[in-house]
Structure 1
Amino acid sequence: MHRTLDLKVMYFGTPVVLVSTRNPDGTANLAPMSSAWWLNDHCVLGLGDSARTAANLHREQECVLNLVPSGMVDVVDRLALTTGSPELSPRKAAMGYEFVPDKFARAGVTEQASDLVRAPRVAECPVQLECALVQESVLGSPGSGAAVFQVRVLRSHVAEGLIIPGTHYVDPVGWDPLIMKFCEFFGEGSAVRPSRLAEAWEMPHAGVLTR
């Protein structure tokens, strides 16, 4: 039997990505997001249109998508409820967001120079994708607060241990991506830790899930 629901959240399960971009002053910004999907050498990103990452992508026309394994969940959660924008919207302020100018330092990760774009890579991430912006548009009706960015992967960097020997393929057994489902973190099919984001969104299971 099925029930008809007015679903408030539709995060059924997507990989967590740390998006690195350049700020107007040339410093690096780093933001976690979990609305991304790939087809061939293109990726579609869903972002809030008022986010610093969205503004940086629009201006710089490039980014790096750093894919996160489940073992880096603490790194991602340290960036939860942070923003690279000095001015906080009333909504973000009410949710507990804070301005953090150096996101790499807050996350405890290292900037690594990219080959083809100016935004840095996250050295600790085993998969790093340098990308160029292809197209951007509003998601839904004007004023929805969400934007879609289509990027093309210019260069892929993959940790040696994740490559199937003698091929150009990632080992799907060795790659254990951090997944966000309904604002909670999962890896290897199990919950890995409670999420600060779930608490901010007042999800009914916030703080309950443990590994």
Structure 2
Amino acid sequence: MTNQPASELGHLTIRPKMLYVGTPVFLVSTVNADGTFNLAPASSYWALEQMLVLGLETDGQSARNLLERPELTVSFPHPELWPAVERLASVTGRHPVPAAKAERYRHASDKLEVSGLSFEPSEIVAPPRVRECKLQFEASVRRATPGLGEYLMVEAEVVRVHAAPEIVVPGTDHVDPNAWHPTIYSFRHYFDIGAEVGWRSTSDTASG
């Protein structure tokens, strides 16, 4: 195979401000020092079996809470909830607002009032789940590592999964990928996933 320069293949060399090529939006719930709860949106996420790796802003309330009280829930909003996610995107639970965030954020102590969402109790961890989200994880932090720049890399073990009945393959523990639609964040835009184009041979839910 010939290694051709990108320019000869018709590509452009660019330097985007962010590299969110398409990642799921999730809502992180944590416990504040006074026992109330914080809720924040994020989209830096990957999973390996029962472990999650999340990227959270270092100077955000979620990161502060997790370093002091290492439990969280991760709730995944379906695409119709994107306006609620966007309402949360410009507020922070930190007070006063850190100088680095002051131009982009305002303080809000009641994130449910801002978003229009609601909580329901978790079964194992202290932070609650977001009731409106069809897929919810309860998790415990196993390690938190400062990353480059303004982000904390959080490794968390999922200890319980909750799923709405309509997104589960009946009689199994499998999420039906044709019924479950995560909200995808791509270059600062929100998307629903499109039609299925294929599947791995190891899929537990493939229909063909």
Q: Which runs of 5+ in 2 are unaligned?
A: 1-9, 196-208
Give 2:164's aligned amino acid: A
Partners of 2:184 and 2:193 within 8 A in 1: no
CA–CA distance in structure 1, aligned partners of residues 98 and 194 of structure 2: 35
CA–CA distance in structure 2, aligned partners of residues 189 and 178 of structure 1: 11
Matched, 1:58 2:67: yes
Written as runs of structure 1 = structure 2, the 5 A alignment for 1:1-211 is 1-95=10-104, 97-140=105-148, 144-189=149-194
CA–CA distance in structure 1, aligned partners of residues 153 and 108 of structure 2: 24
**RMSD (CA atoms):** 1.3
The range that moved more, 19-28 or 97-106, is: 97-106
Larger gyration radius, structure 1 or structure 2: 2
CA–CA distance in structure 2, aligned partners of residues 162 and 65 of structure 1: 17
Q: Which runs of 5+ in 1 are unaligned?
A: 191-211
CA–CA distance in structure 1, aligned partners of residues 101 and 160 of structure 2: 34
Give CA deviations for 1:97-146 in whole Å, capped at 9, x if unaligned: 11110102211111111100110111111111000001111213xxx221
Q: 1:193 — aligned with what? A: none
SS of alignment partner, residue 63 of structure 2: helix
CA–CA distance in structure 1, aligned partners of residues 150 and 85 of structure 2: 23
SS of alignment partner, residue 153 of structure 1: strand
Shift of 1:182: 0.7
Give 1:120's aligned amino acid: P
CA–CA distance in structure 1, aligned partners of residues 144 and 99 of structure 2: 26
Shift of 1:67: 0.7
The two structures have a TM-score, normalised by structure 2, of: 0.86
Give CA deviations for 1:40-97 in whole Å, capped at 9, x if unaligned: 00000001111100011111111000011101111111112100011112332222x1
Shift of 1:5: 2.0
CA–CA distance in structure 1, aligned partners of residues 99 and 125 of structure 2: 34
The count of corresponding residues between Structure 1 and Structure 2 is: 186
Shift of 1:37: 0.9
The two structures have a TM-score, normalised by structure 1, of: 0.85
